Chains A and B, each alone.
Chain A
Amino acid sequence: MSAAQKAMAEADLVDDREGMTYLNRLPRRIVVIYIPLAIFVFVLLFPFYWMGVTALKPNAELNNFNDYNPFWPSSPTLQHIKYLLTETSYPGWLWNTMLVAFGSTVLSLFCAVLAAYAIERIRFKGSRVTGLMIFLAYLVPPSILFIPLAYMTIRLGIYDSRMALILTYPTFLVPFCTWLLMGYFRSIPYELEECALVDGASRWEILTKIMLPLAVPGLISAGIFAFTLSWNEFIYALTLIGSSENKTVPVGVLTELVRGDVYEWGALMAGALVGSLPVVILYSFFVDYYVSSMTGAVKE
């Protein structure tokens, strides 16, 4: 190994794969790796760019690609966002989405923590089967549940209320969070718990004072993931909510801002942009937690 390669390997000790890259010459790497990567990133991000640019264009530029450069707003304006926030029910939808996502996340986390602890650590009779059932529950898609749920919520008298969504979202959040937290609890050493048991701590004390502080990363992962899933949920919000003031952002934008034959693309894209921002901001702060919860749920 030449001195230069040695220096390179030492510079990046964290990554073992460094060792093989010298086999690829730079021109080859450009063709095989960088160009496809650039295309992937471009395609994956372009819709967001287009959404943002459209939201900032004044109406005159929206449909006139020949007089104005379509890829850049010549005279950017906030009129669409202002219209959205002042002349539509959009702020109300944002508030609803926030409340529903927050409520269902808290409820699901509470249920999931207890369930995951019971399955993983109390190991009562039938805990394995229960774990499997929880996994199967995760595989039940909302598209086959929305009709009976709509039928039920009407009879329960909670149709068209935020409560309907807060209570139904846990059907997919609880299985997911439980499954994820089971993995986290499994990684905490048994000895800690045994010590506490010998010292006379109750199960509740062990859970709240030992397990939960150690499982904080897992709780954050499950929490932000659940929040995102409820923020993005559509089919339940579409079927269980009827009146405009109770709608969530995805449903509101689609059912109230799309009307007639002439679409107000500026306002629509502004609605999409503003509705995406909260989860994107949350995501940008917790990227690693997202990745770990996404891969954790699959790996187990």
Chain B
Amino acid sequence: MAQATLTTAPPHRSLLADLSHNRAFLGILFMVPAACILLFFLTYPLGLGVWLGFTDARLNRPGFFIGFENYVSLSGDPIFWLSVFNTLLYTTVASILKFALGLWLALILNENLPFKSFFRAVVLLPWVVPTVLSALAFWWIFDSQFSIISWVLMKAGLISSPINFLGDTTNARASVIAANVWRGIPFVAITLLAGLQTISPSLQEAATLDGATPWQRFRHITLPLLTPIIAVVMTFSVLFTFTDFQLIWVLTRGGPLNATHLMATLSFQRFSSGQLGEGAAIAVAMVPFLLAAILFSYFGLQRRKWQQGGDD
């Protein structure tokens, strides 16, 4: 039976058979669904965004080409420059804190602990819960009158009146950074923990026998072996912090006095007040920074290959 079908089949389905063994054809066929979605809803909008940045479009009407007018007006707009400054400040401070605290937590979790998997699971919770919803909890914690932090500090006699968390420019910046760090620590800690677990304990033991102090072991064994994964994790972290929107939008909406306006929130604000072109221009202005972060990631990955003894 099998013989018979084999001998009679080829003339009947030759074209189909040829195609089904052609790697290029098959590969492209399998890529079609993903490519359609990504090209239409990702690549095209990216280009469209750049184009919109050069127009005076509104939501309900396509705009006219106005050249660099949006960028010119932005470059003379102090709020835009304030938002750039805020974004850089927010990203730098939050990323450094996330890295330091996340690495610390990862090192703690890498110790031989009872209920290790329980702790690992619990630590990841802030990352799992929708940011907007946990940000609402922070909003309540940072309430100007009924903040639980203020209440505890007042009970302890450390302050005499409630802290104005989100109403004062410095406090507001510190508060949104704290909330962002809170949300970002789990990601950094858990991914770095995965990196730490790949480091062979025998290296540490050998160094200990040679008389290395814990700091020396960390500095000369753990850190170099962890560098490649740190590079990738921090690139992601920087990328998502730089483009953060939700946390700020819940906690301050850019206020007070635009002190916490990030480029993403400013872009949204311009967009929702109808200035679609200017909003798009702000979004495009974020791209150079993102490219810098991606290049950083690229070189981080390269270094990883080299460290593993692979060829570049």
Contacts and interface: CB of A to CB of B under 8 A. Distances in A.
Interface stretch (B26-34, B76-84, B88-96, B164-172): B26-34
B34 A114 contact: yes
Interface string A120-134: 001111110010001
Nearest to B123: A44
A168 interface: yes
Interface string B127-141: 011111110111011
A118 B34 CA distance: 11
The bracket for how many chain A residues form the interface is 35 or more
Most buried by A among B59, B186, B272: B59
A65 B129 CA distance: 27
Nearest to B118: A287
Interface string B153-178: 00000000000000000000000000
Interface string B193-220: 0110000011011001000000000000
Given A65-B151, A276-B134, 8 more contacts: A12-B112, A33-B108, A44-B185, A111-B37, A148-B49, A168-B41, A250-B130, A294-B191
The A interface, classified by DSSP as helix, strand, loop or mixed, is: helix
Given A51-B137, A115-B33, A124-B27, A147 B125 contact: no
The 9 tightest CB contacts between A and B, nearest first, are: A124-B27, A118-B30, A141-B243, A295-B194, A148-B45, A115-B34, A250-B132, A143-B264, A272-B133
A283 interface: yes
A147 B121 CA distance: 36
A177 to B, nearest CB: 9
A216 interface: no
Interface in A219-275: 228, 231-232, 234-235, 238-239, 249-251, 253-254, 265, 268-269, 271-273, 275
A144 B201 contact: no
Interface string A30-43: 00010011001101
Interface string A155-180: 00000000000011011001100100
Contacts, number: 306
B258 interface: no
Contact of A37 (B34, B49, B108, B267): B108
Contacts of A291: 120, 124, 190, 194
Given A23-B208, A44-B185, A269-B136, A148 B112 contact: no
A250 B57 contact: no
Nearest to A282: B128
A14 to B, nearest CB: 11
A273 B49 CA distance: 36
B232 interface: yes
A147 B44 CA distance: 12
Nearest to A257: B136
Contact of A48 (B44, B125, B131): B125
Interface of A: 12, 15-21, 23, 29, 33, 36-37, 40-41, 43-45, 47-48, 50-51, 54, 62-63, 65, 70, 107, 110-112, 114-115, 117-119, 122-127, 130, 134, 136-137, 139-152, 154, 167-168, 170-171, 174-175, 178, 202-203, 228, 231-232, 234-235, 238-239, 249-251, 253-254, 265, 268-269, 271-273, 275-276, 279-280, 283-284, 287, 290-291, 294-295, 298-299
A298 B191 contact: yes
Contacts of B42: 137, 140, 145, 171
20 contacts: A47-B126, A47-B141, A48-B137, A124-B24, A142-B243, A143-B263, A144-B49, A148-B44, A149-B45, A168-B41, A232-B132, A239-B268, A250-B130, A250-B131, A269-B137, A276-B133, A280-B129, A294-B190, A295-B190, A299-B232
B108 A151 contact: no
